[in-house]
Amino acid sequence: MTRPRILVLGSDGQVGFQIMRTLAPLGEITGSRLDGAAGLKIDVTDHASLERVLVALRPKLIVNAVAYTAVDRAEEEPKLATAINATAVGVLGAVAARIGAAVVHYSTDYVYSGVTDRPWREDDTAAPVNAYGRSKLAGDEALLASGADALILRTSWVYDRRGRNFLLTMRRLLAERDEVRVVADQIGAPTWARLIAQGTALILAQTAVDGFRLGDRRGVYNLTCGGATSWHGFAEAIRDFSGARCKVIPVATAEYPLPAPRPPDSRLDNARVEATFGVRLPDWHDALRLCLEEGG
Ligand SMILES: NC(=O)c1ccc[n+]([C@@H]2O[C@H](COP(=O)([O-])OP(=O)(O)OC[C@H]3O[C@@H](n4cnc5c(N)ncnc54)[C@H](OP(=O)(O)O)[C@@H]3O)[C@@H](O)[C@H]2O)c1
């Protein structure tokens, strides 16, 4: 029996890298990177070549881990953020619908305003407060409107042992400094890229025998680690696990102005993904320990 082809777009990003290593039991994986190293070179803003590759490969499943993730820079480059995070996603969805490929796409807690007294549910009104969030929301809408058989997984505060992320930045600062000041009035759930990939694989394993068709399970699902903390709490946990002596001083968002505003409370409610697929990621603190226990 021939194994289904799976195309992973953005295979060198935090999530894409882990997806490449996690979905292998489900099919023949082809990765794509912007720089073309060790895989196909695809710039998703080049719609003609994106379409050409999809039509030529005819994957059964496309995992889109490509994104413009520079939240502050997006305020100055909203057109580029929208081209990558929204327009290309709509094109991808339309071609996927035509060739009969299922799509997994990732979205963000930053589609919500952050003003809430409970974790956000998938059908709560999205009202992003920055350009990155607006571009990601437009991508979700474009994919849903494309008619593709699509799963949109909204996650948050992604980190890994490689890439650009808070964990690696904080480990460096904690080693170099006597004290660091970290925002304590924004809360969310730090989520290890490995667990996003594992959660994705466990969901997809349930659809694999049907050629990854999602049918009435298509749509938007939150997928983050459990519990919640602030960036300050996350930094303290990194400090405690690493044994550094650096002081972690809580500061207010107003004391640490950045170009892009952030939602103050972006906790996501993960009940839907658990009820539909039986998948629940571990608590953020346990996940951080698992990640750091790998050493290095
Ligand atoms: N990072 C977070 O904290 C966070 C939080 C919530 C949700 N998410 C979502 O989770 C998903 C994965 O994020 P991540 O953290 O894994 O992102 P990431 O590490 O920034 O990786 C994004 C990937 O997209 C590639 N890319 C960018 N522009 C491209 C283009 N025009 N054509 C082709 N590839 C392009 C990048 O390639 P280069 O490296 O070569 O530029 C990189 O490999 C995204 O949908 C993101 O919005 C992330």
Q: What is the pLDDT of residue 33?
A: 85
The reported pLDDT for the residue numbered 39 is: 80
CB 129 within 8 A of CB 119: no
Question: Do the beta carbons of residue 190 and residue 234 sit within 8 Å?
Answer: yes
- Beta strands 28-33 and 40-41 are parallel
Cα 83 from Cα 89, distance rounded (Å): 9
Give pLDDT, residue 296.
Answer: 62
- How many angstroms from the chain centroid is the CA of residue 21? 16
Q: How many residues does the chain have?
A: 296
Q: What is the pLDDT along the chain (296 residues), one digit of tens a residue?
A: 789 999 999 999 999 999 999 999 999 999 998 887 778 899 999 999 999 999 999 999 999 999 999 999 999 999 999 999 999 999 999 999 999 999 999 999 999 999 999 999 999 999 999 999 999 999 999 999 999 999 999 999 999 999 999 999 999 999 999 999 999 999 999 999 999 999 999 999 999 999 999 999 999 999 999 999 999 999 999 999 998 899 999 999 999 889 999 999 999 999 999 999 999 999 999 999 999 999 76
Which string of DSSP letters, residue by residue, matches 233-247? HHHHHHHHHHT---E
Distance 257 CA to ligand 1 centre (A): 24
Nearest alpha carbon, ligand 1 atom 38:
34
Q: So what's the pLDDT on residue 77?
A: 98
Q: Is 83 in the pocket of ligand 1 (CB under 6 A)?
A: no
Which sign, positive or negative, has the C-alpha torsion 18, 104, 283, 185?
positive
Instruction: Identify the pLDDT of residue 2.
Output: 84
**Residues with catalytic function:** 132
Is any ligand 1 atom within 6 A of the Cβ of residue 136?
Answer: yes
C-alpha of residue 220 to centroid of ligand 1, in Å: 19
SS3 assignment, position 210: helix
Identify the pLDDT of residue 52: 95
pLDDT at 18: 98
CA of 244 from ligand 1 middle (Å) equals: 30
pTM over 0.95: yes
